[in-house]
Chain A
């Protein structure tokens, strides 16, 4: 069965500092990985995805994610955090057969001014 894990419930970072939100995956076959962000009382917004190719994927709002096959990780990163980045972040893996997304439990990012 495919799954993703987000080991941190919350990440706190000061504005201007780099941020990392962690995600590890467990899949059979090639992973198809996503990051989404959710603001309060809103749906999810797509940030980026990885299927194949470069291990460093660039996405929306200055976010990027690094695919690491040996560590089965897909951590979300941003060089300089903004207060407006404060939100709930979900890592997900897509099931190739059903197109279902299997979500992690989410990580709340809090960026302090």
Chain B
């Protein structure tokens, strides 16, 4: 089946640090990748949609300068949380799909980000 690898699984760092999270589709080409944020005991909140080779589309209320998304290839997208602060602590999850195949989204295992 389609596998999406997300790395790292957990990050603990000091306030002001920038953190990069990688999302890779291992056995399919991800024309579209999605980044979500999940707060404890809540549903997933879509942050942005990225299509390979083009700029990400951010959801309303999501700061694009704070959450930098790069989708440089059909198998890799990155989310960089710039100058992270404690309020950025959350569970971040990526998903990927091959739009040409009308696939369901396949999700990574998430990254638990804790900012001290």
Contacts and interface: CB of A to CB of B under 8 A. Distances in A.
Contact of A43 (B32, B49, B110): B110
A45 B112 CA distance: 17
Interface string A36-71: 100001111110010000000000000000000000
B6 interface: yes
B66 interface: no
Nearest to A49: B104
Given A36-B107, A44-B93, A100 B34 contact: yes
Q: State the majority secondary structure of interface residues on B.
A: strand
A106 interface: yes
A90 B104 CA distance: 14
Instruction: Name which of A43, A99, A100, A101 has the most chain B CB atoms within 10 A of its CB.
Output: A43
A90 B44 contact: yes
B109 interface: yes
A105 interface: yes
Interface string A69-98: 000000000000000000000100000001
Interface residues of A, number: 18
A36 B108 CA distance: 13
A84 B104 CA distance: 24
B109 A42 contact: yes
A104 B97 CA distance: 20
B97 A43 contact: no
A67 to B, nearest CB: 16
Interface of B: 4, 6, 32, 34, 42-44, 46, 49, 91, 93-95, 97, 99, 104-110, 112
Q: Report the 4 A-B pairs with minimum CB-CB distance, sorted nearest first.
A: A43-B107, A44-B107, A43-B109, A43-B110
5 contacts: A43-B93, A44-B93, A99-B49, A99-B97, A105-B42
Interface of A: 34, 36, 41-46, 49, 90, 98-101, 103-106
